[in-house]
Structure 1
Amino acid sequence: MDPAEVFMEEAKARQTPILEAAARGDCEIQQFFSGTTALITGGTGFLGKLLIEKLIRSCDVKKIYVISRPKKGTSSKERITGLRKDSVFDTLRAINPDFGNKIETIEGDVAELRLGLSVQSWVTIAEEVDVIFHMAATTRFEERDFT
């Protein structure tokens, strides 16, 4: 067997107790987030994807809104469709193939006033969201100063 495959199998075996504990759902954090609707800025980034996966797999959230902007000719909705296919969701996909139904796009841009949200999106967030995770960041270090 290829050494990389051996490594991956060992890593999966180490995850088994963690997945079993998450499946029980008896942790206070899991109970707190169960049935909630979350808003995540930066959900298409590295840490944002990990947070989405963890919330859906371990906490049985009702819905996750992800603020996404068009980027490099790809619309916000296309970016979230691509996000659902990311390998970070492989374990979750095996457990719950319909997990993607809990992820909903809200077009916006955190670098804009009012997060670049439409009035309708702003109202939806105000009425439905229970928890907000601000994970967005810029990787352009020559960004203009907003002060």
Structure 2
Amino acid sequence: MEIKRRYCLNKKEIKKLKEELNNIFEKEIIPNKANIEIAITEDYEMVLANNEPIAFKINNKVYPTLKTILKHNLNSGKVVVDMGALRFIANGADVMAPGIVDADEEIKEGDIIFVVDENHNKPLCVGIALMDGKSMKESNKGKAINTIHYIGDDVWNF
């Protein structure tokens, strides 16, 4: 993956970015006094805090990286899948409702969420909820989450 351009954000842009990320998981993601940069690639804009990828933008929407979720031990917006779904998610597949074991009931359709496995509780992917949390747990058919970023993709390897 080739970085086309890289630039630092000003204080106003950093404040807006902080608000967007804090609203997703209700937790302070960007450290104070961090050097915040944007690295532009062909597919997305990577947000770097002190040269560490913390989020990325696609179509002006901000998504946290899996490494950020791991680092901050986030719980809101979490969906748990069974071990049978693991190999599909690891290849970037969308998450199907039958594989979901548990979900945060506060999740609403359209929310940015993350998926963990039931045994190790480690993040596997970041996606957009296609149904609410309660429906994810109860439904036996259909696509529940549109995967945006998963372990092993370009964002992970940035």
Q: Same fold (TM over 0.5)?
A: no
Q: Which has the larger radius of gyration?
A: 1
TM-score normalised by structure 1 residue count: 0.28
Decide which structure has greater strand share: 2
Larger RCO: 1 or 2 (CA < 8 Å, sep 6+): 1
TM-score normalised by structure 2 residue count: 0.27
